[in-house]
Amino acid sequence: MDYISAREAADKWGISQRRVAVLCSENRIKNATMLGNMWLIPSSAKKPIDARSTRYKNIEEKTVKPFLKWAGGKGQLLKEIEQYYPFEDSKITKYAEPFVGGGAVLFDILDKYNLKEVYISDINSELINTYQTIRDYVECLIKKLSFMQDEFIPLDTANRKIYYMKKRERFNELKIDDNENDKIEKAALMIFLNKTCFNGLFRVNKKGLFNVPMGAYKNPLICDEKNLKSVSDKLQKVIIVCGDYKNSSDFIDKNTFVYFDPPYRPITDTANFTAYTKNLFNDEKQIELARFVDDMDKKGAKIVVSNSDPKNTNEEDNFFDNIYSVHKIKRVEATRMISRNSKSRGKIKELLIIRENLKNEIFRIIDIWWEELYWKIL
């Protein structure tokens, strides 16, 4: 059996080395063994569920999942991101996601933890309207989606295209009118288009109008009634805001875990084609976000940021290494799911940017020092 040190396990699981030692002493890590005064952990061991937290719900299957497909969705990176969930600390009772998008991390957290307060926001008004409608009017929404599903599925391809284009045109009319009385219809159209358009992509032109063509789906599930009701239940106490990420400042404090998933910095000249608002997130805005992250860090919040890795195409591009120079940057493997060029779809590196809590960092350094000293003595 292969073993790793407590320090290596701590890095792997995103917890302190001291916490790993406690888990070993409590027999929470199967086959962990002590050599001298050091713990050795099987390399295949999984991070134990934190029994100290009564807010964790020990369930085998997810009860809720994202209701939309979304460009840049984090479903495939959840295993990496969840390593940095800080909820083993009983003081972390709040969660904020200021670029919520499809909400893969949001729903993973809502599915596992009963938190005191949750805040989500996005600048995409149609997306936020859909979240709010699911929370407040889910039964009416389900009726509209069920009706559209019953109309759309029996049609042949030619008539499906006609039906799709009519719904797309109606959706854009509602976007322009922006009438509060149309919010349920607009949310239903948002979901319908997402389930039937090319790659589930939400893209707008310079006028802000949705312009994605129909996709080639044989039998799309337009109305997932069970999941929509589950989502509605989970969102009941969630603060849902349409606006800039900076609006989250008043919510975020030392008891908050914050996940920032902004529009990614393009790594190719054509990557911006997936933009879902007409306001592009350029380098200047990325720098502004990095400063905001630093401000929230000073409040004591626990923070994770994700973004593209420019080194995929240019090893000399240190943009994020520079603007997040005081943070830990981890490069993780992901699959590009949406691209204009099918040849460019595949494995790439993305960034997880983590701000280590100063107190925990000091303990980590002390633990490393003691471990190195121990091996020297041996």
Q: Is residue 294 part of a domain?
A: yes
Question: According to the model, what pLDDT value does residue 18 have?
Answer: 72
pLDDT per residue over 364-377, tens digit each?
455 556 666 655 66
Residues 119, 138 share a domain: no
In angstroms, rounded to a whole number, what is the distance separating the alpha carbons of residues 257 and 97? 9
Print the domain residue range for 30. Answer: 1-48
Rounded to whole angstroms, the Cα distance separating 190 from 130 reads 7
Q: Residues 183, 271: one domain? A: no
Residue 237 inside a domain? The answer is no
107 and 255 together in one domain: yes
Residues 108 and 149 in one domain: no
Assess whether 316 and 265 both reside in one domain: yes
Best CA proximity match to 97, nearest among 80, 183, 115: 115
Q: Do 119 and 253 fall into the same domain?
A: yes
- Answer yes or no: is 56 within a domain: no
Domain co-membership, 162 together with 207: yes
pLDDT digits (tens, 9 = 90+) for 138-153: 999 999 999 999 999 9
Regarding whether 218 and 340 lie in a shared domain, the answer is: no
Give me the pLDDT at residue 15, please.
Answer: 75
Q: How confident is the model at residue 31 (pLDDT cuts 50, 70, 90)?
A: confident
Mean model confidence pLDDT for the chain:
85
Q: Can you give the pLDDT at residue 357?
A: 53
- Region at 31 (left for phi over 0; alpha for psi -120 to 50; beta for the rest): left
What's 166's domain CATH number?
Answer: 1.10.1020.10
Encode pLDDT of 154-175 as tens digits.
999 999 999 999 999 999 999 9
Residues 248 and 322 in one domain: yes
Helices (H), 26-124: 78-81, 104-112
pLDDT band at 58 (very low <50, low <70, confident <90, very high): very low
Quick: pLDDT tens for 75-128: 778 889 998 999 887 889 999 999 999 999 999 999 999 999 999 999 999 999
Which CATH number characterizes residue 255's domain?
Answer: 3.40.50.150
Residue 134 clears pLDDT 80, i.e. is over it: yes
C-beta of residue 256 within 8 angstroms of C-beta of residue 92: yes
Does residue 174 sit in the same domain as residue 220? yes
pLDDT digits (tens, 9 = 90+) for 320-341: 999 999 889 999 988 765 445 5
Quick check: is 231 in a domain? Answer: no
pLDDT for 53 equals 45
Count of structural domains within the chain: 3
Q: Looking at the domain assignment, is residue 372 inside a domain?
A: yes
Look at residue 94 in the predicted model and tell me its pLDDT. 97
In a domain, 368, yes or no: yes
| Predicted structure pTM score | 0.78
Whichever domain contains 27, its CATH number is 1.10.10
Neighbours of 344 (CB within 10 A): 13
255 and 352 inside one domain: yes
Diameter of the chain measured on Cα atoms: 78
Asked if the structure places residue 296 within a domain, the reply is yes
Lowest-confidence pick of 238-247, 290-299, 359-368: 359-368
Residue 360 falls inside a structural domain = yes
pLDDT for the residue 54: 40
Task: Provide the edge-to-edge strand list for the sheet that holds 256-260.
Answer: 238-242, 117-122, 94-97, 256-260, 302-308, 347-354, 328-335
Estimate to the nearest angstrom the gap between the alpha carbon of 377 and the chain centroid: 45
Q: Residue 207 pLDDT > 60, yes or no? A: yes
Domain boundary among 174, 197, 225: 225
Residues 365 and 264 in one domain: yes
